[in-house]
Amino acid sequence: MASTPDPRLLRAFVTVADELHFTRAASRLYVAQQALSRDVRRLERMLGADLFVRTTRQVTLTGEGERLLPYAHRVLAAYEELDAAAAGADRPLVVDVAAPVSTGTLVLDAARAAAPELEFVARFHSGLAGAAAEIAAGRVDVSFGRVAGLPPELRERLAHRLVRFERVAVLLPGDHRLAARTAVPLAELAGETLYVGAGNPETAEWTDYARLLLAGRGVGLAAPFPKIEGDAEFARVVRRRGWSVLASETFADFPGMALRPLTDPVPVSPVSVVWRRGLRHPGLAVLLSAAERLAADGGWRDVPGGAWLPEPDRAELAEGPPGRSADASRARRAAG
């Protein structure tokens, strides 16, 4: 072999070996299938060995592929360790908090207070779907949001930890017939049209949650609309169109509008801290510690009686990461 293979080629090899399917492997790596096939063939030429047996029905590892696979894993792990060591504490941790008023912002503020010597740079993607793609591409390190709404191939590249069950609310015009209520039963929204972020790919996980929650309840969803940038523009568009908005309890204050929690049932949305698998940075440990402290002090993972969770979220919590089984059990019991 003339030279050490490019890590990209090794990553192509181990991903195809894991999936034994070029299309699924290409989806996980966010590359075209043709490009992935070229990378595998190039690696085979460099190694002087066939790594896979390809037929129209299946892909299997050759004997040489099986022999070399553990070495490829070790080389990739070494590259990741080198990247982490090179980054060190001097590189800022890039943290997407979604909005200035959010659970993510509260956690980031607590992390900055706990470790003023570290640099945390905030980003403001409007939803986890947009931020997660940036995490996978290495342009963002950490974000917050509803993991169950992400594509499975993207979730596989991310690690996550439950931080909070946010109560879901509705943002109403001040003169709305329900604005005087302290809480709004879901049945009272029948006949209403709610804005749920349809048309904004960055908030696809929230639009998915809304559709699951409102299915069969006689509530209309506002037609897809371009992404709305900034609170001032959001308020202008919402007021102009007369929309009510499906929101969460942690939401910006808009003068002339009323944020009311939903009841009967009480919808909750899990908010997790999400980061790239293999990420090593001292700021990540500080951020996770801050999230744990806030969750414990604020009862963030307590679930109200009569809570409602979508089935995909209950399944995600049932699988949850190690050390979170108690939180998942409470959520499953509360959500029925």
CATH of the domain at 251: 3.40.190.10
Q: Give the pLDDT confidence score for residue 84 in this predicted structure.
A: 60
CATH number at residue 68: 1.10.10.10
Same domain, residue pair 172 and 261: yes
| Integer angstrom CA distances of residue 247 from 5, 8, 244, 275, 291 | 49, 41, 9, 24, 22
Same domain, 151 and 21: no
DSSP structure string for 227-253: PPPSHHHHHHHHHHHT-EEEEESS---
Q: Is the pLDDT of residue 81 over 70?
A: no
Same domain, 153 and 282: yes
Same domain membership, residue 328 and residue 272: yes
Q: What is the pTM of this model?
A: 0.71
Mean per-residue pLDDT over the chain, rounded: 89
Residues 78, 14 within the same domain: yes
Structural domain total, the chain: 3
The pLDDT value given to residue 86? 59
Q: What is the mean pLDDT of residues 185-203?
A: 94
Alpha-carbon distance of 104 to 97, in angstroms, equals 4
What residue numbers bound the domain in which 154 lies?
A: 93-165+268-334
Alpha-carbon distance values, 12 to 20, 51, 52, 229, 267 (Å): 11, 11, 12, 37, 41
Beta strand pairing call for 59-61 and 93-96? unpaired
What integer is the mean pLDDT of 297-307? 91
High-pLDDT (> 90) share of the chain, %? 70
